[in-house]
Structure 1
């Protein structure tokens, strides 16, 4: 005998209550697994709980499988909050943000991607965010990608094996009218085995700008994301495909009088989402 689908308002509300209870039970089950994970880590080599590549994979799967009336914005925000909060209970951390370009957009980005449990700390510029992350046990930092030249050569503060590195570019899912659409970099202390290298970022210093520079970099799937005067030199932030050869990128910069070149982070390539109708 086939069970009939609920048709009355009371039946439908009962089904919603059942689903809500199931979701809560699953979250508690997830919490129990995290408790076990924390106990296991106490007997093993500890490390950062952040896994940018895994988070990007989860978000991509959610976007590809999502259907129905519920906006993807809501699904993304819920899952980002779940991931960020369970990371927080494994090892408390704060999110430091540069609000020199405005507090509202950065606060929206932090709350959308990390929820309300994780403390949100504001700073006056990107350099202060980098310093705060460097001095912390395991905090994150976010600042706008479109910082102007007046923000200084902040990317050079990421040079060095023990300095913070860019680990993500948010938001990861690219779509129109994103509720937290301000493009930001996310930094953390170096992640030994958790970084994703679809896009690799470099800090470079050259003697002069060359008209052939952009074309030369483009041949190796690289581009200048930002530039600023650096004394008598010009400092560049270069973004390149993770498949690009580092030596080839250096060679493309050489005609401009390259004086130094260092990797300062990497992140997942953005996932373009086109909603189905």
Structure 2
């Protein structure tokens, strides 16, 4: 097409046609987003009548994202798809009851992970320690705490899991749920039990005053039907504490816990397995 023919109103203009098609698609997308919001509003009203305490459903959100990722194809990157839906899901949660997120931002990247997961409009409070973030949730000043993924070599004051008041506060999600590039990981904690997603992992705190090796604890877990994917050990004041990750949903009252030869075995919550390859 020459410059002269490009201006001829009698000839089709591919750019104008493409823009018109995009405008029509934008209108259709907008209509569907508004319809979705209406459905969420009806759901929020029914939950309010039932006295449902929290709008957060991390397991349900994980199921939605897994389904969309499984059917996704084309030029749009999968990570962009997840970012779009994380904003939609965060807005839907806000429709059902506002909430604030308390972030122990040990690094700036952790705050970014929290922001991407909970959306650009969700209030985030940055706090200087893990204990302060957990205290904000316990006091009702925030509804979710974002804490760094535990590391075995971290300082005692950083090992927040050793004193977690479960089941009052429990792990409900692992962030980021999807990511093509390596980045710091975090755990989300909130009051009440999380909801299963169909592919979950649980965290368990074990305490014993007996001197047990890592291999002995791993063997006892396997014998009880709780083979560990990860184990971190800390010895403080004559008490050995282990943070253990196992497959599936593990809750208080599970008969496998009673089979463990330890002083205490306390589930700390569970989370949907993230969709980014092997994380264990």
Shorter chain as denominator, the TM-score bin is: 0.7 to 0.9
The aligned residue for residue 145 of structure 1 is 149
- With over 3 angstroms needed to count, the CA separation of the structure-2 counterparts of 1:77 and 1:26, relative to structure 1, is same
Aligned equivalents of 1:149, 1:213: Cα separation in 2: 23
The aligned residue for residue 75 of structure 2 is 69
Which runs of 5 or more residues in structure 1 are unaligned?
1-5
Aligned equivalents of 1:170, 1:17: Cα separation in 2: 34
Which runs of 5 or more residues in structure 2 are unaligned?
1-11
Conserved? CA contact 1:51–1:195, under 8 Å: no
The aligned residue for residue 166 of structure 1 is 171
- With over 3 angstroms needed to count, the CA separation of the structure-2 counterparts of 1:211 and 1:188, relative to structure 1, is closer
The aligned residue for residue 130 of structure 1 is 134
Does residue 43 of the first structure (1) align with residue 46 of the second (2)? no
- With over 3 angstroms needed to count, the CA separation of the structure-2 counterparts of 1:44 and 1:250, relative to structure 1, is closer
Which deviates the most, 218-227 or 40-49? 218-227
Conserved? CA contact 2:172–2:189, under 8 Å: yes
Deviation at residue 201 of structure 1 after TM alignment: 1.4
Conserved? CA contact 2:136–2:142, under 8 Å: no
How many residue pairs are counted as aligned between the two chains?
A: 258
The aligned residue for residue 235 of structure 1 is 241
- With over 3 angstroms needed to count, the CA separation of the structure-2 counterparts of 1:212 and 1:249, relative to structure 1, is farther
The aligned residue for residue 187 of structure 2 is 185
Does residue 11 of the first structure (1) align with residue 17 of the second (2)? yes
Name the SS of the counterpart of 2:90 in structure 1. helix
Conserved? CA contact 1:227–1:235, under 8 Å: yes
Conserved? CA contact 1:153–1:228, under 8 Å: no
- With over 3 angstroms needed to count, the CA separation of the structure-2 counterparts of 1:225 and 1:85, relative to structure 1, is farther
Deviation at residue 31 of structure 1 after TM alignment: 1.7
Aligned equivalents of 1:139, 1:244: Cα separation in 2: 23
Aligned equivalents of 2:245, 2:272: Cα separation in 1: 12
The aligned residue for residue 216 of structure 2 is 213
Conserved? CA contact 2:101–2:142, under 8 Å: no
The aligned residue for residue 122 of structure 2 is 118
Structure number, greater radius of gyration? 2
Per-residue deviation, residues 165-192 of structure 1 (Å, max 9, x unmatched)? 001112223x5415xx321111111137
Deviation at residue 262 of structure 1 after TM alignment: 0.8
Which deviates the most, 205-214 or 241-250? 241-250
Conserved? CA contact 2:100–2:141, under 8 Å: no
Conserved? CA contact 2:201–2:245, under 8 Å: yes
Conserved? CA contact 1:214–1:223, under 8 Å: no
Aligned equivalents of 2:166, 2:120: Cα separation in 1: 32
Deviation at residue 247 of structure 1 after TM alignment: 4.8
What is the root-mean-square deviation of aligned Cα atoms in Å? 2.7
Deviation at residue 82 of structure 1 after TM alignment: 0.7
State the TM-score, normalizing by the size of structure 1.
0.82
Name the SS of the counterpart of 1:42 in structure 2. helix
Aligned equivalents of 1:186, 1:273: Cα separation in 2: 20
Per-residue deviation, residues 84-117 of structure 1 (Å, max 9, x unmatched)? 12101211101111112x1x21121012111111
